[in-house]
Structure 1
C-alpha cells in the first residue's frame, strides 16, 4: 500500500499542475480495448497502477488498482476460490476500464453492469484532491463517474465484490431457428434463478444458440471437459455453431471456470476472422492454430489501432428494450449484413446514469431489463459512406429506444448527445467535483469526422500495407506473451513437478 500511496501522490501532483493552468488532459493507462483514437499529449500517466493489492476471503472483496486486467484479477482471486461476479470476456479489459466505461457480460442479467459489483473507488479529482466514493460517501460521484470515461476524475483504486468460484460451468446450448425465438428464449432463461450466466449468438436469421451456464463443482463420470484457450482448441463461436447447426435439442458440456470466463478471447468473439479476410488468407483449423498468437484480443486491438482500420470497422454494442430488439436486428441485417450477432441480457442501472438505459418499469416498480446486441464486422471502405451508415445506425437506435456503449466510435452532435443523456445532472457533478477543466464525456467519445489526408494515412490505406503495419506494431508490443504465460489456463490441469 505504501507504493500505491506514493504513486497516487505523484498522479495528484500532475493533475494539480494541469488544474492550476486550466488545461484539459487525458489519461494514459497503458492499454485500451476502445476503438476510439487516442492522443498522448497532455496526458497523465497512470500505467503503473496495475496491482491486485489485497484479496480478503472473509469479506469476499478485492482491492485492486485500475489497470489490473481481468485475467490477472481472476488468477489472483481463484487462488482463494473466489471470482468477481461480472468478468469481462476479454482478458485485457481492466477493472478501471470496466468502471469508467460500460461493461455488461453474460452474468449481467443477474448483477447488472460491472460497476454494480463495486463497493467503493478511490479517485483523484481534477483539482488534485484524493477522495473515496461509495454508496455512503460521495454517492453522487460514485454513480456519476461510472460510465463517464474519466471525465469526472481518475479512478486510482477499486474495492470489488467477489463470489464463490466453482471448478466448472455447466454450459447448455439451446438451438433456435429464428430471431424472434432467440430473443424470447434469452428473456425466458434470465428468469431462471438457478443460472449464473446467459448469452446468445445469432449466426443468421434462421440459426441461433442461446447459452446458459451454472457454476458447479460436480463433473459427471466419464465426462470430458471442453477447453478453448490452447492453440489446438476450437474458437468458441465456431464450436457453438458446429454443435447447434443441426441440433434439435439442448446440448450440455462442462467448461473449466476460467476457460468459460475468457472463452471469447481467441478470435475476439469472431472479429478475428476479419483479419483472415483482409489478408485473403485461408481460414481453417490449421491456419488458426498456426497464427494463434495473433488472434487473441490484446493483439487484435493493437493491430486494429496501428493499422488505422478501425475507421472502416463497425464495433458497436447496442442495448435495447426486448420489445424492439427483433426489429432492430432486422434493420442491421438489411443495412449492414453483419453476422454473427451477440445477445447479452442486462439488468439496468438506476437513473440518472451514463450507461445505456430506458425508463420503463415492471409491475413491481423495478426497471425493465435490456438486451445488448453486439454488432461487430466490416463496414463500408469509403469514409463518407462509413460516416453516413454510422449516423444512420445511431438514428435507428434512438428510433427503437436503444442506447449505445461509449467505448466505440460515436458520431452524435453535442445537441444529439445531450438529448439522450441528463446534461443538467452531469454538469452539476462536474462543477461540484472541480471537473470543468477536463474534456466532457461527449468531447472524449466524439469521433473526429475530418478526413485525414496525410501521406501516412494514405500509405496505411493501401492494401496490405496497413495490415502488415498493424501486425508489426502488435508483435513489438509483446502482448502475445501474456496469453502464452497466463496461469489461469492451468486450473484443473495437472501441474508438472
Structure 2
C-alpha cells in the first residue's frame, strides 16, 4: 500500500515538474525531434510527388479508389466495417483521435493541382493538396483562394469536408461558399460530380461539415480571386468592448450589405476592454516610401504575429505592407498563440534568433507522439475551440468566454452565413433578426479561443467538460455552430439541435452511406 502511494506521489511530482518546465522540455526534446520529423515527412512527400505526381493520371488514380470501394462491397456482410481513408490520424489537424482501426481503410493518395481555369476563376485540385502548396502556386500567378486558412499544413479537401474561414470571409462566407464542385466516390464505388445546380445538389449541400461520412472526395473546384503582391494592413487599437464590437459590425458590412468593406478584416482581443482591429487591402507597394513599410512577418527571427499586433495598443496604431503569402500564413509560426503555452519564452528575441527556425512544433508530430496519458492531461488543461456565432451577440460571447475560460488573446473573424433554404445542409439558416438588412446572409464571426484557462494557470479547480457544455449551450441558444475539428461535449440530441441533419440523413439513405461510412455524430463526438 505504501509502495503504491509512494509511486503515486512520484508520478504527481513528475507531472508537476513537467508542467513547470514544459518550455525547457519542449525546446530540448520536442522541437529538434519535430524538426527532424518534418524534414523526413517533407522528404517523403517530395519523393512521392517526384515519382508519382502526374495530373494526367488523375482518372486512373480515381479508378483505383473506386476499385477499392467495389472490393469492399464484395466482402461478406459479417466482415464489412464502415469505411474511412487510410490517411493516418496524426496527419490530420483535428484535435480528435478517431479510431480508424475500427474501420475498413481505403487508400486515397491524391495530391496534385489539376487545372487553373482563369476564365471561370476556378482551380481544380485533388483533396490532399495543402494550403501552403496551393497558396504558393496561385500567388505566383496573381491569384489566391477566395477562402483559405492560416495553417499551411491544412489540406484543401479536409477543409472542404469540414469547415474553414479566413479574414476574407466577410465578403465570401465559409470555405464551402468557395467550392464550385465536388467529385465523390460513393459507397457503391460510383463516381459523381456534385454542384449546386445539378441532380446531386443535395449531396453538394451536405458534403461540408460531413467529415468524410458521405463518400470519398477525389477532386474539387475552388473559387479564386485576383490579388496584388502585398497587403496594406492598418492596425487600429480600440478601447472598450462595445467600441470594438461596433467597429467590427460597421467594417464587416453587417449593418449595410452595400457598404464598401476592406479586403481583409479581423480583430485580436487582448482583454475585455482592449482590442486591435486589422484592416487589410491589396497593394502593389508602388507609392513613394512604400518599400520602407514592408514587413516580412513570417521570418524566423520576427516577433510572433500576435505579439507584433499587441505593440500597436501602446503605439496608438500604425500601418505596414506585408507580402501576400506571408500575410495569409502569418499565424502559422506561433499557431496563432498556442505555442506560447508550450514555450513561454518562445517570443524572447534571443530564442527567436537562435532557435526560432525550429518553430512551430509540427501538429503532425505532436499528434504522432501523443499517448493516451498525455491526451487525458492536455484535454483537461487547455482550450482549443473555434465557434461560429451571429455578430449580434459579440459582446455577450466575450463575457461568457472570459467567465468560462479566462484566457486571452481571442480571435474574431467576421463571416457571412447564407440562407440557402432547403439546400442549407447541416447549417441552420440565420434567424430573421440575424440577417443583414436586404441581404440573403447574416453576418456571423469565428470566435477563436486557444490557450490555457486562467484557473489552470492559477492551479484552481477547472472542469473542462462543464465549461465546454456551458459554452455549447450558449452557442445553441444563439443559433451558432461549433467547429467539429475540436472536442465537443454534446449528447446526440443536443448535437441535432445545433445542426440540422434532415437533409444529411436523406443523403445517407439516397447515396448508400448508412453502414458504409460512420455517422457524422459518431465520427466527431
Q: 1:96 aligns with which of 153, 157, 170?
A: 157
Is the Cα–Cα contact under 8 Å of residues 69 and 95 in structure 1 kept in the other structure? yes
Give the whole-Å Cα distance in 2 for the aligned partners of 1:56 and 1:331: 45
Q: TM-score, normalised by structure 1?
A: 0.83
Residues 53 and 418 (structure 1 numbering): CA distance in 2 closer, same or farther, change over 3 Å? same
> CA 1:221 to 1:356, structure 2 compared with 1: closer, same or farther past 3 Å?
farther
Structure 1 residue 155: deviation in Å? 1.0
Tell me, in whole angstroms, the C-alpha distance in 2 between the residues paired with 1:296 and 1:46: 29
Q: TM-score, normalization: structure 2?
A: 0.79
The structure with the largest alpha-carbon Rg is: 2
Q: Tell me whether 1:39 sits opposite 2:107 in the alignment.
A: no
**Cα pair distance change 1:203/1:99, threshold 3 Å:** same
Are 1:122 and 2:183 an aligned pair?
yes
Considering fraction of residues, name the structure with more helix. Answer: 2
Q: Deviations along 1:14-46, whole A, 9 cap, x unmatched? A: 223334544212224452111111334235344
Say yes or no: does 1:78 pair with 2:152.
no
Q: How many residues align?
A: 440
Q: Deviations over 1:223-279 (max 9, x none)?
A: 32011221112211111101x22244x4211111101111111101111111114xx
What residue number does 1:215 align with? 282
CA distance in 1, matches of 2:469, 2:282: 41
Look up the match of 1:469.
none
CA contact (8 A) 1:319 1:370 kept: yes
- Confirm or deny: 8 A CA contact 1:179 1:202 kept in the other structure: no
Matched, 1:369 2:443: yes
Matching of residue 156 in structure 1 with residue 236 in structure 2: no
Structure 1 portions without partners, runs of 5+: 447-497
> C-alpha distance in 1, partners of 2:414/2:107?
33
Contact 2:230 2:284 in 1 (8 A): yes
SS of corresponding position for 1:49: coil
Contact map agreement 2:389 2:444 (CA 8 A) in 1: yes
Structure 1 runs, 4 residues or longer, greater than 6 Å off: 380-384
**Counterpart-to-counterpart distance in 1, 2:175 and 2:493:** 28
Which deviations, in whole Å up to 9, do the C-alpha atoms of 1:137-167 show, x marking residues without a partner? 2111111111111111111101122211211
- The CA distance in 2 between the partners of 1:357 and 1:383, in whole Å, is 38
Q: CA deviation at 1:48?
A: 2.0
Q: 1:56 offset after TM fit, Å?
A: 2.6
Q: Does 1:55 align with 2:116?
A: yes
Please, which of 300, 311, 314 is the counterpart of residue 379 of structure 2?
311
Which residue of the other structure, out of 420, 425, 429, is the alignment partner of 2:498? 420
Please tell me whether the aligned partners of residues 355 and 405 of structure 1 are also in contact (alpha carbons under 8 angstroms): no
Tell me: CA distance 1:434–1:316, structure 2 relative to 1, closer, same or farther (3 Å).
same
Q: CA deviation at 1:303?
A: 1.4
Matches within 5 A, 1:472-491: none
1:26 to 77, 84, 94: 84
Residue 260 of structure 1 corresponds to 327
- The two structures, once aligned, show a CA RMSD in angstroms of 2.2
CA displacement, residues 294-327 of structure 1 (integer Å, 9 cap, x when unaligned): 4337x14531563344523311111112222211
Q: What is the aligned counterpart of 2:470 among 389, 392, 411? A: 392
Question: Whole-Å Cα distance in 1 between the matches of residues 168 and 347 of structure 2?
Answer: 31
1:205 correspondence with 2:272:
yes
Shift of 1:2: 4.1
> What per-residue deviation string (whole Å, max 9, x for no partner) do you get for residues 428-461 of structure 1?
1111111112111111110xxxxxxxxxxxxxxx
Whether the 8 Å CA contact 2:251–2:261 is kept in 1: the answer is no
Indicate the SS of the match to 1:219. coil
Q: 1:136 aligns with which of 194, 197, 202?
A: 197
Larger mean CA deviation between 63-72 and 322-331 belongs to 322-331
- Note the 1:195-344 alignment, pairs <5 A: 195-223=262-290, 224=292, 225-242=294-311, 244-248=312-316, 250-277=317-344, 283-296=347-360, 299-300=362-363, 302-304=365-367, 306-307=369-370, 308-309=374-375, 310-312=378-380, 313-344=382-413
Quote the Cα distance in structure 2 between the aligned partners of 1:190 and 1:346: 8
Report the 3-state secondary structure (helix = DSSP H, G, I; strand = E; otherwise coil) of the residue aligned with 2:314.
coil
Alignment gaps of 5+ in structure 2:
1-54, 254-258
Question: Compared with structure 1, are the counterparts of its residues 323 and 282 closer, same or farther at alpha carbon in structure 2 (3 Å cutoff)?
Answer: closer
Structure 2 SS opposite 1:291? helix
In the aligned structure 2, how far is the partner of 1:46 from the partner of 1:373? 35
Match of 2:234 in 1: 172
Contact 1:266–1:295 (Cα < 8 Å) also in 2: yes
Report matched runs for 1:450-469 at 5 Å.
none
1:109 corresponds to which residue? Answer: 170
